[in-house]
A and B are shown apart, each in its own frame.
Chain A
Amino acid sequence: MKTSHSFDEIFKFQGKAKSWSLIMIAVGVIGAIFSFVVFGGERTFANLLLMGYYFTCVCICGIFFCAVQYVAQAGWSASILRIPQAFGKTLPIAAAILLAIILGGLFITHTGLNEYGKQTTLPYLYKAWALKGITTPGSVNYDAVITKKSGFLNIPFFLIRIIFYLVSYAILGRLLIKYSENEDALGGMFNYKKSFNVSVIFLVIFGFTVPLFAFDTIMSLEAHWFSTMFGWYNFAALWVGGLSVITYTLIRLRENGYVQWVTEDHLHNLGQLMFGFSIFWTYLWFAQFLLTWYANIPDEASYFYLRWVPEFKPWFWLNIIINFLTPLLVLMSRDSKRAVKVLKTACVILICGHWLDYWQMIMPGAVGPQSAWYTEIGIPEITIFIGFVGLFVFTTMSALSTFKSLVPRKHPFLEESLHHHI
């Protein structure tokens, strides 16, 4: 076992990775414009919201990962913290993009049919509650149910909330990264203790607001329906998706000659988390499904009814197969978590799987069925996905290259992490 490593290496973001990420961004931009013209603004905006939300969630997950490690006083993860920190550093960019998409979706309008089949002016996103006149009795768009919800679900308060969540996550994430960098410069326990305190504050705020973040951004697309499970279900998706991206990034960096101190033991731990929280995700998915199915109240069942039309049903089941059966069968054994290639494949499957998960949360309500199930995922979905992957790689890898070292070299638990063994 190698016991000494050079921590002076700085990650350089250049060459193939950089050019490919820029090409992917270009594909995404062209794809989005093309989709807007050919496939319509509604589908394009829904896809942008999907990827903006996914991007933001992965960045939030970076901060959440660090905070959990600090609060648990975990030693094993000390040497890999820079990767989630780089995600956290990117959160302001991701949040700005998500906010721009939401603002565009709310305020750019087109004419179309409202839910009573009457011609009216519709926003591209959140047409279920952000229509003009939806709370005015006598208006063509008047909706009594939404009017009762409008004390909470109105555009100014909605935007205030979204901004509050994202700004508070970003500031606390920023502090965590700042303390970690100070620790590298100064040493000692002082910054570690401050990181611990900030992590506790972050987890309290995050714990209370992350379900609301999911309610606002995603669940309000179908504002008539509600589920108290939805927030935690989205949290599980955020955590599994984020862990898969962290693990995948780590494996790719390791393959390219960086972070050589990361062993199968660290990857094994990440694999365990991915496996465990995939089961947790399934548990929440099923809890939401079983109660709705069993009670069969029209208000609640409408959500699954929409997803059981022929255009969505294959994807609905595929979602469960990918996100439950794959981790269950692939990641259960110890050997497969330690086989880097298997783990890498599982990461890719789960990253795509949680894209599909978000997709089937958003599309049936925001866009509705297309002509057939196989045309549901087409050029807009694929190009915008590619574009955001490129954007994610470009922004997070640029953030990673700003760190002076790829390891928090004066982290008090660093030695424990370097000798991690399970």
Chain B
Amino acid sequence: MSKTKYILGLFADPDEMMHGIDLLQKNSVPIYDVFTPMPIHGIERKLGIKDSRLGYAAFMFGCLGGTTIFSMAYYMLVHDWPMNIGGKPAFAIPDFVPITFEWTVLFTAFGMTLTFFYATHLFPGRTPRVMDLRATDDRFVIAIDAKGNTPHEDITKILKEAGAVEVKHNDRKYVSYE
């Protein structure tokens, strides 16, 4: 039995890669993932990738930040130690707006960054999961899960036909863990 885990088709041109996706889909070969060094317009729809839920996370973090600082300001300036500032009432809502806005933005930004790190398994100090190192440079890579996708020669042929400059049969999923 073949030890190949993933078949990678490396393309030099994004249009040829898109053509490769079309050919694979026409031949009912499921695509595991596609890696490109730059964003390709319309590729999510083509691959049927679900919309990102990062926006919902951002919204929740924003609500959390706004609530946190508003409660804090209320506790400090109204409940615990009310002060007379310019004769204004202690619970002066307009004054609370700028800081509430700032913390909403702050929590949203940090929260989104952390969510993104969590979802993509990226974190400072951690080795990133990369299936082909040139996907971050000058190659457009289509990855196909080799298990169950046989015969491998046919997949290689389809990729070559679409214009792949190189087809790799990798025994390991990630090449970055050396």
Contact partners of A334 in chain B: CB under 8 A = 51, 55
Most buried by B among A332, A333, A421: A421
Task: Specify the chain A residue showing the minimal Cβ separation from B41.
Answer: A421
Write out, one digit per residue, whether chain B residues 77-109 have a CB within 8 A of any chain A CB (1) or not (0): 000000000101000001101100000000000
Most buried by A among B51, B86, B94, B95: B94
- Docked Cα-Cα span, A405 to B162, in Å, equals 39
- B42 CB-CB contact with A under 8 Å: yes
Write out, one digit per residue, whether chain B residues 28-42 have a CB within 8 A of any chain A CB (1) or not (0): 000000000000011
Contact B86 A421 (CB under 8 A): no
Contact B86 A333 (CB under 8 A): no
Q: Which of A286, A296, A332, A419 contacts B97 (CB 8 A)?
A: A286
Contact partners of A421 in chain B: CB under 8 A = 41-42
Task: Specify the chain A residue showing the minimal Cβ separation from B59.
Answer: A332
Interface residues in B129-163 (C-beta closer than 8 Å to A): none
Contact partners of A152 in chain B: CB under 8 A = none
**Which of A156-164, A210-218, A269-277, A287-295 contacts its partner?**
A287-295
Contact partners of A286 in chain B: CB under 8 A = 94, 97
Task: Specify the chain A residue showing the minimal Cβ separation from B43.
Answer: A421
Contact B86 A296 (CB under 8 A): yes
Contact B94 A333 (CB under 8 A): no
- CB of A118 to closest CB in B, whole Å: 36
Contact B95 A294 (CB under 8 A): yes
- CB of B101 to closest CB in A, whole Å: 9
- CB of B22 to closest CB in A, whole Å: 14
Are A289 and B94 CB-contacts (below 8 A) given A294-B86, A296-B86? Answer: yes
Contact partners of B98 in chain A: CB under 8 A = 290
Contact partners of B42 in chain A: CB under 8 A = 421
- Number of interchain pairs (Cβ within 8 Å): 21
Contact B88 A294 (CB under 8 A): yes
Write out, one digit per residue, whether chain A residues 388-422 have a CB within 8 A of any chain B CB (1) or not (0): 00000000000000000000000000000001011
Contact A290 B97 (CB under 8 A): yes
- Docked Cα-Cα span, A332 to B58, in Å, equals 12
Contact A294 B94 (CB under 8 A): yes
- CB of B40 to closest CB in A, whole Å: 10
Contact partners of A419 in chain B: CB under 8 A = 41
- CB of B98 to closest CB in A, whole Å: 8
- CB of B55 to closest CB in A, whole Å: 7
- CB of A281 to closest CB in B, whole Å: 15
- Docked Cα-Cα span, A294 to B97, in Å, equals 13
Q: Which of B41, B51, B94 contacts A293 (CB 8 A)?
A: B94
Contact A290 B94 (CB under 8 A): yes
Interface residues in A280-322 (C-beta closer than 8 Å to B): 286, 289-290, 293-294, 296
Contact partners of B55 in chain A: CB under 8 A = 333-334
- CB of A300 to closest CB in B, whole Å: 14
Task: Specify the chain A residue showing the minimal Cβ separation from B45.
Answer: A421
Contact partners of A296 in chain B: CB under 8 A = 86
- Docked Cα-Cα span, A167 to B139, in Å, equals 54
- Docked Cα-Cα span, A290 to B86, in Å, equals 14
Q: A289-B94, A296-B86 are in contact. List 19 more A-B contacts (CB 8 A).
A: A286-B94, A286-B97, A290-B94, A290-B95, A290-B97, A290-B98, A293-B94, A294-B86, A294-B88, A294-B94, A294-B95, A332-B59, A333-B55, A334-B51, A334-B55, A419-B41, A421-B41, A421-B42, A422-B41
A-B contact pairs, 21 of them (CB 8 A): A286-B94, A286-B97, A289-B94, A290-B94, A290-B95, A290-B97, A290-B98, A293-B94, A294-B86, A294-B88, A294-B94, A294-B95, A296-B86, A332-B59, A333-B55, A334-B51, A334-B55, A419-B41, A421-B41, A421-B42, A422-B41
The 3 closest A-B pairs by CB, nearest first: A421-B41, A421-B42, A290-B94
